[in-house]
Structure 1
Amino acid sequence: MSRFGIFIILISIVCSCSKLDELTKFNIDYETEVTIPASTGISLPFDIFTPDTETNSESKFESNDTRKDLIESIKLTKLQLDITSPDDADFSFIESIEVYINAEGLDEILIAYKEDVSETASILDLDVTDIELKEYIKKDSYSLRLNTVTDETLGQDHEIDVNSTFYVDAKILGL
């Protein structure tokens, strides 16, 4: 076989591996809710805890042709807050916010934040940290802690959806 033929075969193998590698990358979305209570103090940090979020990681990995032991990396790519109640509310009452993740047997770590919030919209996109989170998502569940500072007194409770997207890079059944 000529050198050109070997070169073509090698290029084909590399391209095939690249295409397979793309099949091992997918997103997992989670949603949970929190309530910021009315009459929360101004300029004082306070914590809001989400209920445990079931990861269902085994089935989510399986539906993407992989397993927990084949996960190479999981990182948060998006964390968005969406006020669902009251209808006319916006995020102008928040001065700053930090979001931490916690799972059984693991340390709590900062995953997203927003400083000097002046949003007059009902949706707030937070800045995400570039931290490895595979051990948290591989657990059965995780919880979030929102550390928030407000700059206004709230007259009523604010219901907020917390929407997160995690980018998963895994091997497809060992390939």
Structure 2
Amino acid sequence: MLLSWIWACPLLAACGPTSFKSELRGETTVPAGMPGAITQLNAFPAIGSFVGLDFNENQDFKNQDVTKDEVDSVRLQSLEMRLLSPSDVDFGFLDTLEFFAKAGDLEVRIARRRDISQLGLRAPNPVLRMDVDDEELQPFIAAPAMSILVRGKGRLPEQEVRLQAVVLLGVEVNFF
């Protein structure tokens, strides 16, 4: 009898919960304002690769052999905005930035940062680390399509600025 339990234990462990990380990257460009004029930034440019996400097509999910329907829990672990170019520009043009998860009529804020222009994030190529909201994202991941929206306010920069967002998700799956 003991021998049969020894055989079953590794199988049961393989059926237990597992977790992995999934990273999403996307870029956007903030256009330059008119030279010599201060123009308000009232609508932040969308990040194209964050629209219409289907996590069954996500490489991290495929590597784990997991479908979005098998996911028990997903939480945002970190979100960074990296200033890619030009290298001599900082985040002084931004005041607030917020990220939202959206699927159908469901929308929730997942990260935010306020008073960005006063953080002292200086060139070259500064990284803005967002404050993460502790929200359950499983319903968004399981939806037919999910988007990550960005809303921000500030002023248009003097030069066109290219930004990269890096999203790190913690995914939990239970195979029972």
- State the TM-score, normalizing by the size of structure 1: 0.75
- Structure 1: distance between partners of 2:142 and 2:136: 12
- Give the C-alpha shift of residue 28 in structure 1: 0.4
SS in 1 for 2:168: strand
- Structure 2: distance between partners of 1:73 and 1:98: 22
**Pair 1:145–1:88, CA change in 2 (3 A):** same
Which ranges of 4 or more aligned residues in structure 1 deviate by more than 4 Å? 19-22
Q: 5+ residue gaps in structure 2?
A: none
**Pair 1:153–1:70, CA change in 2 (3 A):** closer
Q: Which amino acid aligns with 1:161?
A: Q
- Give the C-alpha shift of residue 72 in structure 1: 0.7
| 1:110 corresponding residue in structure 2 | 109
Q: Which amino acid aligns with 1:80?
A: E
- Give the C-alpha shift of residue 162 in structure 1: 0.8
How well do the aligned residues superpose, as a CA RMSD in angstroms? 2.9
1:47 is the counterpart of 2:51: no
Instruction: Specify which of 154, 159, 164 is matched with residue 156 of structure 1.
Output: 159
Q: Which amino acid aligns with 1:125?
A: R
1:126-149 Cα offsets, whole Å, 9 max, x none, are 011100111222345433322212
| 2:142 corresponding residue in structure 1 | 138
- State the TM-score, normalizing by the size of structure 2: 0.75
SS in 2 for 1:97: strand
Identity %: 25
- Give the C-alpha shift of residue 161 in structure 1: 0.5
1:120 is the counterpart of 2:122: yes
Instruction: Specify which of 19, 23, 31 is matched with residue 25 of structure 1.
Output: 19
* Greater alpha carbon shift after TM alignment, 132-141 vs 116-125: 132-141
* Greater alpha carbon shift after TM alignment, 153-162 vs 62-71: 62-71
Report how many residues are paired. 160
- Structure 2: distance between partners of 1:91 and 1:135: 33
